[in-house]
Amino acid sequence: MALAAVQLLPWRGRHLAVRRAGTGPSIVLIHGMAGSLTTWDPVFADLARSCDVIAVDLPGHGSSSRSVDDYSLGSLAASVRDVLDALEVKTATIVGHSLGGGIAMQFMYQFPERCERLVLVSSGGLGREVTPMLRALTVPGAGLALAVGARLQHQRHVVAAGRLARPLARRVWNDLPYMLRQMATLDDPETRRSFLATINAVIDVGGQGINASDRLHLAAGLPTLIVWGEKDRMIPSGHGYAAAELIPGSRFELVPGAGHYPHEDSPDLFASIVTDFVATTEPRT
């Protein structure tokens, strides 16, 4: 099935990019750091068979506008609310991956009346630990290193070598191909600036700077699903287990063999987990 076209919604004199398809309960998909709505492409069509699916490019990411001043979780959550307003969607299940999980939780805190269910996928914001690669990007000079790395990835011989090395890279670190794919998008200075502003809003050299664990009790009564990859080396799956213990009645699903991107590593299983969750839970009203 062909994916729906990306549309640009007017937003504060700029625009936000979204992809929308399907009918049924509304689901909003929020990508992670340096990502875009295309990360959901492997599961989009399956989810759209029973849901109204809305995948969002956050400000400064994908096809959405750059030159945004505020990349805090509160501002990014407000941009998701603005998408719902523009599409005339009153309430939705909010699904967030990695950074998007932190934004999904922030959305729940700021706009509880708009949040029917919460789905956290390898979510940030649940503990201090995070891969050293992301911590290294908060030190001075990280922008220059990113520029050089992104430029190299676009050179023809490097691209060819990367294709050959991809199977080995996946064995060494299952999420490395995904990380390199996202870093390759940072060759544009404005995109790179947006990425660094986003990462510095939530991560410092010691790890994640925001921990929502002491506020998870606010999700009591909200149907909550937590999905994690069994082999996630970006953010430990222990964060997900701990969060599930703090949210009464929540579900925890560990995806076998998957890394930090379970929706890309095991799309059929991921889509079935989320579809079943939406079908078997009543939205919070």
Written as one letter, the residue type at 182 is: Q
CA-to-CA distance for 163 and 135, rounded, in angstroms? 27
Is 250 an annotated catalytic residue? Answer: no
Active-site position among 46, 52, 57, 232: 232
Is 175 an annotated catalytic residue? Answer: no
Active-site position among 61, 239, 260, 263: 260
Question: Which residues lie below 8 Å from residue 77, measured CB to CB, with a gap of 6+?
Answer: 103, 106, 107, 110, 111
First to last CA, the chain: 33
- The 10 Å Cβ neighbour count of residue 148 is 11
Is 123 an annotated catalytic residue? Answer: no
Active-site position among 64, 79, 98, 194: 98
Question: Of 118, 91, 80, which Cα lies nearest the Cα of 212?
Answer: 118
If DSSP codes are grouped into helix, strand and coil, which group holds residue 207? Answer: strand
Beta bridge partners of 254: 228
Tokens of 152: 């190299």
Q: Which residues are catalytic?
A: 98, 232, 260
